[in-house]
C-alpha cells in the first residue's frame, strides 16, 4: 500500500492537531510546585490519558511515580504474532523563563509566520501530538493498528528527578516491547529526516562558598575582606580553558564525532549567535556538541544589580551542569566535577559542594530491522534519505530502558529541530515538521509490522 491515503489522512488531521496542541500547551505543566501549581501537571496528565483512550487504547491509567509526579500509561494488544512498539514522550515542560521575552503568552499557542508558538509546543507536547496524529491516521485509513502498542508519557523529564526510571525498575514487565520510539528529539535541520544516535549524559553539582560571618560595607572593608562572590567567580572561571573547552581535571576533551557534520555557519544561525561573537571551544561543532564534555553554569545566587547594597558578600552559591559524552562513565564524571570545584576554591574559603542529579550518556545500535523500517518511512515521508546525528541533551530514561530491555531497539525521533528554541523563550514548532513526522511514525508502524511478518 502506498503512502498517499495515509499522507492525506495526516494532512486532514492537522487542524485537529493544532486544536489539541492549543489545549495541551495551555496547561502550565512545570513539574516544580515551587513555580506552578501541581494541579497544572495533573490536568495535563488527565488530558493525555483521555486523548489516548479516545484512540482505542485500553488499560489507560495514571502511574504515581516515586518522585511525586504522574506518568500516563496505555496499551493495546496487536494482531496475533505482531510485534509490540512502545511510544514515549513527556507532558511536563520547562518554566517559561523571562516572560517579558516572549512575543506572545508562553502558555497560549499562537500562530505567527507559519509557526506555532508556546511553551512545550515542540518539547514535548508537540511530540505527544505526533504520536496521536500517527495513530489517528492509521485508524482512519487502516481501521486499526498493525502492531501491539504501549504508550508512556512522563511527568517529570525536565526536572530530572527520575520518577519514571525508578517506577520502571520496580515494574520491569510494564514497558516490555520489541521497539521503543522515544519522541523527544528532532531532525538535524527542517526537512532533513533524522534519527538521534547518541545522547550526552548529565551530571550536576552545586557549590556554596562562605567567607564572612555576614556582609560588610565595601567602603570600610573592601580590599582586604574575603569576598565570597569573587571567590565563586574564580571557581567558575576555572571550569574552562582559554579556548572555552571544558577544563575539569580528569575528563578527556579530544573526542571526535564520526556522523553527520554541523557547519559553523548553520550552527551560528540555529543558535542565533550575535555578529562578531566567537564560538567557544575547539574542534568541529559536532565534536563540541555530541562527542565531548561541556560544562555550563546554570545559575548563581547573589544580590541582583537593582537593589544590591554596597557590600562585600559573605556567601554565594552556583549550580553547575556537566554534559557527559558517550564513552564516559557518568559517576566518574560527576566525581571529577566535584573534585575540581573543591580544589579550585581560593583563600581557604569555606565551601560545600553537593551532588545533584545525573543521567548516563546513551548510544544507540542503528543496525536492526526497526531502524531499517524507520529509514524506509522517513524516505517515503520526506523524499530524502534518513541521517543519524548526535544530541547534546540528555534523556536519562534511555539507559534505564536499555538495561531493562537489552533486546529492544530504541529509536529517537521527534519534532524538535534546531529552529524550535526548546528550553528558551519563544519556543515553537513548525507544523510542516509535525505533519511529516506524524506521517513518518504512521508509516514506520506499518513498515515494521510488515517486516516482522516476513
- Give the closest residue to 422 by CA, choosing from 1, 65, 35, 96: 96
Other beta carbons less than 10 A from residue 335's beta carbon: 14
Distance of CA 345 to the CA centre of its chain: 32
DSSP state of 80: T
221: how many CB neighbours lie within 10 A of its CB? Answer: 15
| Owner of C-alpha cell 560571618 | 213
Q: How crowded is residue 342: how many other Cβ atoms within 10 Å of its Cβ?
A: 14
Distance CA 32, CA 147 (A): 36
Half-sphere exposure (Cβ direction) of 238: Cα atoms closer than 13 Å: 18
Task: Report how far Cα 248 is from the mean position of its chain's Cα atoms.
Answer: 24
Judged by DSSP in three states, 15 sits in helix
Joined grid coordinates for residue 158: 525536565
CB 122 within 8 A of CB 420: yes
241 flagged as catalytic: no
Contacts of 269 (CB under 8 A, 6+ apart): none
CB half-sphere exposure, 255, CA atoms < 13 A: 22
Bridge partners for 88 per DSSP:
152, 182
Three-state DSSP class for 5? helix
Torsion 83-12-93-71 (CA) sign: negative
Catalytic residue among 40, 92, 154, 165: 92
Q: Which of 20, 123, 154, 157 is the catalytic position?
A: 157
> How deeply is 105 buried, as exposed, middle or buried, from its count of CB atoms within 10 A (0-12, 13-18, 19+)?
middle
Among residues 397, 420, 168, the alpha carbon closest in space to that of 272 is found at 420
Query: Is position 391 annotated as part of the catalytic site?
Result: no
Read off the C-alpha cell for 157: 523529564
Local structure of residue 289 (DSSP, 8 states): I
The residue written with cell numbers 562578531 in the block is: 276
On whether the CB atoms of residues 31 and 162 are closer than 8 A, the answer is: no
Catalytic center residues = 92, 157
Amino acid at each position: 500500500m502506498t503512502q498517499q491515503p495515509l499522507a492525506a489522512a495526516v494532512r486532514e488531521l492537522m487542524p485537529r492537531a493544532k486544536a489539541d496542541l492549543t489545549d495541551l500547551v495551555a496547561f502550565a505543566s512545570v513539574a516544580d510546585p515551587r513555580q506552578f501549581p501541581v494541579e497544572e501537571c495533573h490536568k495535563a496528565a488527565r488530558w493525555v490519558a483521555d486523548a489516548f483512550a479516545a484512540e482505542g487504547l485500553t488499560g489507560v491509567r495514571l502511574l504515581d511515580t516515586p518522585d511525586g509526579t504522574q506518568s500516563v500509561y496505555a496499551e493495546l494488544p496487536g494482531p496475533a504474532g505482531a510485534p509490540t512498539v512502545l511510544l514515549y514522550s513527556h507532558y511536563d515542560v520547562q518554566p517559561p523563563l523571562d516572560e517579558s521575552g516572549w512575543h506572545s503568552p508562553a502558555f497560549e499557542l499562537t500562530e505567527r509566520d507559519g509557526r506555532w508558538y508556546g511553551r512545550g509546543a515542540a518539547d514535548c507536547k508537540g511530540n505527544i501530538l505526533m504520536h496521536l496524529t500517527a495513530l489517528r491516521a492509521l485508524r482512519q485509513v487502516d481501521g486499526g493498528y498493525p502492531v501491539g502498542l504501549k504508550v508512556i508519557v512522563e511527568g517529570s523529564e525536565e526536572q530530572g528527578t527520575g520518577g519514571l526510571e525508578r517506577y520502571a525498575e520496580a515494574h520491569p514487565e510494564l514497558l516490555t516491547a520489541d521497539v521503543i520510539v522515544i519522541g523527544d528529539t528532532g531532525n538535524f535541520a527542517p526537512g532533513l529526516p533524522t534519527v538521534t544516535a547518541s545522547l550526552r549524559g548529565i551530571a550536576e553539582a552545586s557549590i556554596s562558598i562562605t567567607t564572612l560571618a555576614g556582609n560588610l560595607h565595601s567602603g570600610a572593608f573592601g580590599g582586604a575582606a574575603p569576598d565570597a562572590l569573587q571567590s565563586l567567580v574564580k571557581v567558575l572561571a576555572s571550569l574552562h580553558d582559554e579556548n572555552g573547552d571544558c577544563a575539569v581535571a580528569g575528563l578527556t576533551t579530544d573526542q571526535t564525532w564520526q556522523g553527520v557534520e554541523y557547519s559553523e555557519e548553520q550552527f551560528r544561525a540555529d543558535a542565533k549567535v550575535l555578529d562578531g561573537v566567537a564560538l567557544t571551544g575547539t574542534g568541529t561543532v559536532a565534536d563540541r556538541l555530541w562527542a565531548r564534555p561541556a560544562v555550563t553554569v546554570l545559575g548563581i545566587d547573589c544580590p541582583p544589580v537593582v537593589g544590591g547594597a554596597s557590600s562585600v558578600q559573605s556567601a554565594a552559591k552556583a549550580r553547575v551542569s556537566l554534559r557527559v559524552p558517550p564513552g564516559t562513565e557518568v559517576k566518574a564524571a560527576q566525581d571529577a566535577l566535584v573534585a575540581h570545584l573543591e580544589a579550585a576554591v581560593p583563600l581557604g574559603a569555606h565551601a560545600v559542594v553537593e551532588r545533584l542529579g545525573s543521567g548516563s550518556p546513551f548510544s544507540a545500535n542503528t543496525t536492526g530491522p526497526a531502524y531499517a523500517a524507520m529509514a524506509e518511512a522517513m524516505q517515503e515521508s520526506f523524499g530524502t534519505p534518513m541521517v543519524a546525528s548526535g544530541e547534546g541533551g540528555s534523556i536519562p530514561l534511555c539507559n534505564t530502558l536499555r538495561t531493562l530491555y537489552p533486546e529492544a531497539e530504541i529509536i529517537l525521533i521527534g519534532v524538535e529541530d534546531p529552529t524550535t528554541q526548546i528550553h528558551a523563550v519563544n519556543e515553537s514548532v513548525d507544523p510542516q515538521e509535525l505533519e511529516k513526522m506524524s506521517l513518518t511514525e504512521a508509516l514506520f508502524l506499518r513498515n515494521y509490522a510488515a517486516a516482522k511478518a516476513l
